[in-house]
């Protein structure tokens, strides 16, 4: 039973790790905002098709919490993915994958700042390591460039995505009591609607690109694998071994993202990437191991949406 849970969680992390690679492969085949819109439009249609009875049962609760649910979609789904798909135009998928590992560190920091969540010395040490790892990646191995405000445009966009997802995760503490299908479908609808203005902006810039055959394949991958299947597998894993243990598997996302970028895209793995990956993952592991037993796990309940 536990083996099946481990497999589910590994597959979920693999699907999420492939999201940034999909964004890179999409270049020249579908524009970033078009991909963002199609991902959530298709995801909404697919989950509604298989969950309509549940959505109808949950409608009274949904109606009372519609602004919050749409906020989840706008910030956690649209903004995160729009920034990620734009970031890979200017930086490597390896950088994006490692910078994504900074999300738990930022969640920890925001929880401490606004909710005075209990903190241990191990957590401070672990997340300090993670911060150095992310900074090393964003500066392409030259930390001095950060002091001179020299930051690659793509890395800057990805850091915005990291902040967006951390804020989304913090707000999940107020999520209404809904079935997971509804909790995904309604924000996905909000994401599809909020992606329309971005798509119009892209059109005004003259950079919108309707997907070709390869672009459609990528769009369906992001909708089916990175959105729906990854979420289903992750939930199955959480149900079997618990949220605390399952949350640790999210740390595999930057590992898979890095490996896939090397294998599928031929990106060069630099020494600073290896050092940064060790620092970020090691820091998260130390923080998780040493967190106060009463505190919630730093990993989000539905990661990398």
Tens-place pLDDT, residues 256-273:
888 888 889 998 888 888
CB 127 within 8 A of CB 285: no
**Number of Cα atoms under 13 Å in the Cβ half of residue 142:** 9
* pLDDT score at 298: 43
Closest CA to 192 of 29, 3, 37, 7: 37
Tens digits of per-residue pLDDT, 94-106? 888 888 877 877 8
- Residue 150 backbone class (left: φ over 0; alpha: ψ -120 to 50; beta: rest): beta
| DSSP state for residue 30 in the 8-state scheme | S
Measured between alpha carbons, how far is 227 from 34 in angstroms, rounded to an integer?
A: 16
**Cα 36–chain centre separation:** 13
* Structure tokens that stand for 200 in this block: 């119009």
Burial of 164 (0-12, 13-18, 19+ CB in 10 A): buried
User: Which parts of the chain register pLDDT below 50?
Assistant: 149, 296-303
* Structure tokens that stand for 285 in this block: 């592991």
* pLDDT score at 74: 96
* pLDDT score at 208: 94
Tens digits of per-residue pLDDT, 161-193? 999 998 998 898 898 999 988 988 999 999 999
* pLDDT score at 63: 96
């Amino acid at each position: 039973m536990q083996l099946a849970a481990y497999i589910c969680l590994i597959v979920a992390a693999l699907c999420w790790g492939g999201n940034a690679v999909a964004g890179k492969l999409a270049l020249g085949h579908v524009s970033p905002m078009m991909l963002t819109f199609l991902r959530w439009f298709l995801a909404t249609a697919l989950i509604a098709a298989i969950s309509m009875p549940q959505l109808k049962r949950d409608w009274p609760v949904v109606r009372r919490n519609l602004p919050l649910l749409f906020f989840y979609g706008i910030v956690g789904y649209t903004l995160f993915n729009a920034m990620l798909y734009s970031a890979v135009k200017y930086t490597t998928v390896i950088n994006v994958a490692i910078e994504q590992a900074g999300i738990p560190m930022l969640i920890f920091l925001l929880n401490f700042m606004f909710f005075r969540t209990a903190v241990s010395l191990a957590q401070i040490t672990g997340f300090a390591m993670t911060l150095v790892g992310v900074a090393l990646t964003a500066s392409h191995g030259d930390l001095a460039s950060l002091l001179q405000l020299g930051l690659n445009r793509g890395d800057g966009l990805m850091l915005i995505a990291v902040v967006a997802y951390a804020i989304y995760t913090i707000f999940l503490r107020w999520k209404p009591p809904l079935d997971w299908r509804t909790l995904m479908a309604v924000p996905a609808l909000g994401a599809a609607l909020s992606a329309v203005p971005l798509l119009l902006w892209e059109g005004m810039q003259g950079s919108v690109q309707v997907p070709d055959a390869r672009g459609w394949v990528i769009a369906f991958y992001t909708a089916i694998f990175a959105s729906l299947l990854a979420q289903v597998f992750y939930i199955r894993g959480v149900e079997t071994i618990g949220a605390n243990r399952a949350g640790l598997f999210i740390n595999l996302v930057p590992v898979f993202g890095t490996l896939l970028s090397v294998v599928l895209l031929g990106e060069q793995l630099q020494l600073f990437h290896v050092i940064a990956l060790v620092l970020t993952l090691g820091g998260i592991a130390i923080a998780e191991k040493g967190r106060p037993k009463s505190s919630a796990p730093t990993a989000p309940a539905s990661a990398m949406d």
